[in-house]
Amino acid sequence: MKETKYIFVTGGVTSSLGKGIIAASLGKLLQARGFKVTNQKLDPYINIDPGTLNPYEHGECYVTVDGHEADLDLGHYERFLNSPTRRANNITTGRIYQNVINKERRGDYLGKTVQIIPHITDEIKRNIKLLGSKGEFDFVITEIGGTVGDIESLPYIESVRQLRWELGKNCLIVHLTYVPYLAAAKELKTKPTQHSVKALQEQGVQADILVLRTEHDISIDMRKKVALFCNVETSAVMQSIDVPTIYRVPLNMQKEKLDEVVLTKMGFDLAKTPEADMVKWIEFVEKLENAKEEVHIGVVGKYVQLPDAYKSIIESLIHASAYNNKKLKLELILSDKLNDENVEKKLHKLDGIIVAPGFGQRGMEGKFAALKYAREKDIPCLGICMGMQTMTIEFARNVLGLADANSTEIDPNTKNNVVDIMDEQKNILDLGGSMRLGAYKCKLKKGSKVYDIYKKENISERHRHRYEFNNTYKEDFEKAGMMCTGLNEESNLVEIIELKSNKWYIGVQFHPEYSSTVVNPHPLFISFMKAAIENQTSSSHKNQEQTVKI
């Protein structure tokens, strides 16, 4: 079995430097050379997973195909590599300690005192090497969350130190730091990078490659200075300069020869290694950067103050707008502040509307107002997860005449709960909740809009929700024109609804945004964007006609 190479990406000086983007970019470049690559994220928080975290704490909760609630960086990995991740791709300190404690309770340690070293570090190493144990991948690139020097990261850095000796040339460390620009002095400062590398060295780890995040070009002389003080070759000191789009980063890192240096240091002969094929990636980036005409899309949600809460939706819209040769003009609209009185003022400039996911009743009435406006004005509208559920409630209230239509999440005593909990989940929910997580099959109704969009009858999409459409009302909805066009036949659950009377009004119980990648944008978002562009064009014609009449 071939030997898997392990690359670790650490960060220093400050958080939010973009370790995930650098890790994903390196993965993309190696993949483009023909290697099999996967990315992994080690998160130092003690939560078992981000599933219970408020999106304002940690951004969106990403869901893998096997139903694991994961860090949002896994979304970057999938969007860049066009390859699904799984539970093993995201490990938290909470998971590590839970596993160790469970082993201790079972007696696996034969009465020994359980300690950080070797028991916690052994568990960390086991989880890191799990992805490479079956020989599926040539490279496993592991991003370590947090900043070097944080007390939470110490066991991870210690595990990397041990692996460095165990794996030899099959292990490499990339350290990402920040080089600030002092406006008063009009110069870049490398001292923070020197201190960061020193902190890493004090923990027994020597970086092989330094990637310097910067707002200004770093000269060769300054790179030589960093190399001298940080014990790396000058060729291994690279810059990652600010760019308008994260999708430019792999191309910039290719110019910096990141992939070449990595391969050379890990014993590969570059003369026998194919060049990176980035043609499709370059085509996408050129479309994205050269688009001039705007399309105005609004995302209505309850967490819009932190855009990362809807990261995958936003990136999916970027993919779809670029492939439609349009520049995305995104407006994030707080549903809490939306109502029937101000909805016209806030939404009238939009070409398309997305009603976003989100647990809890806060902001629901604002979503109803947005949906009523989109439905009556025939504005292209996509409801995702809770967005689909609010579509059904708004339709029940304002079309079916069920004035008290609601969800059991809001009022379990309401007679007209058009969104309900699956019967087999009701008792579980009382004990703390359960969800449908991960990929589930869905059969599309032939002749429907979604069938035309997907161009196939059977699909599989990822879920993250507790509540379902209440089938008691299915016949009433379809008689009134809201068709149930996607079903999970195993559980007889409604997965997709669409309005016959509108040009583009679709709700999906799943999360299509999790499956949209750079080279394979999701067909729902592509179709939604086309509809928004057509709506833009038709609205323009209407305005011209009105001007002529006046």
CA distance 238 to 172: 16
* Cross-strand bridge partners of residue 112: none
pLDDT at position 407, please?
Answer: 82
pLDDT at position 420, please?
Answer: 73
As to burial, measured by CB atoms within 10 angstroms (0-12 exposed, 13-18 middle, 19+ buried), residue 329 is middle
DSSP characters for 367-401? HHHHHHHHHHHT--EEEETHHHHHHHHHHHHHTS-
Sheet order of strands, 209-214 included:
90-92, 37-43, 139-144, 5-11, 171-178, 209-214, 237-241
At 488, which helix (H) or strand (E)?
strand 482-488
pLDDT at position 106, please?
Answer: 94
pLDDT at position 432, please?
Answer: 35
DSSP characters for 456-486? SSEEEEEEEESEEE-GGGHHHHHHTTEEEEE
| Beta carbons of 542 and 536 less than 8 angstroms apart | no
CA distance 303 to 468: 22
pTM, 2 dp: 0.91
CA distance 324 to 212: 34
pLDDT at position 429, please?
Answer: 30
**Cα–chain-centroid distance for residue 457?**
27
Q: Which residues are catalytic?
A: 385, 511, 513
Q: At 203, is the secondary structure helix, strand, or coil? A: coil
Cis bond before residue 118 (omega within 30° of 0) = yes
pLDDT at position 466, please?
Answer: 86
Structure tokens at 90: 């995201």
Instruction: List, for the chain, all residue ranges whose pLDDT scores fall below the cut of 70.
Output: 1, 409-414, 421-434, 539-550
pLDDT at position 15, please?
Answer: 84
Residue 179's φ and ψ, nearest 5 degrees, are -110, 100
Residue 238's φ and ψ, nearest 5 degrees, are -125, 155
Shortest CA distance to 239 belongs to which of 263, 215, 259, 265? 215
pLDDT at position 427, please?
Answer: 31
Angle at the Cα of 195 from the Cα atoms of 193 and 197, rounded to 5 degrees: 70
| Beta carbons of 515 and 462 less than 8 angstroms apart | yes
CA distance 385 to 264: 46
Shortest CA distance to 438 belongs to which of 86, 95, 79, 90? 86
pLDDT at position 53, please?
Answer: 84
At 11, which helix (H) or strand (E)?
strand 5-11
pLDDT at position 134, please?
Answer: 86
pLDDT at position 359, please?
Answer: 82
pLDDT at position 550, please?
Answer: 45
* Cross-strand bridge partners of residue 459: 442
- The per-residue b/e assignment along 131-162, b for 16 or more CB within 10 angstroms, e otherwise, is bbeeeebbbbbbbbbbbbbeeebbbbbbbbbb
Cα end-to-end distance, the chain, whole Å: 77
What is the DSSP secondary structure assignment for residue 119, as one 8-state letter?
A: I
pLDDT at position 467, please?
Answer: 87
Residue 109's φ and ψ, nearest 5 degrees, are -90, 10
Query: How high is the mean pLDDT of the chain?
Result: 91
The counts of H helices and E strands in the chain are: 19, 23
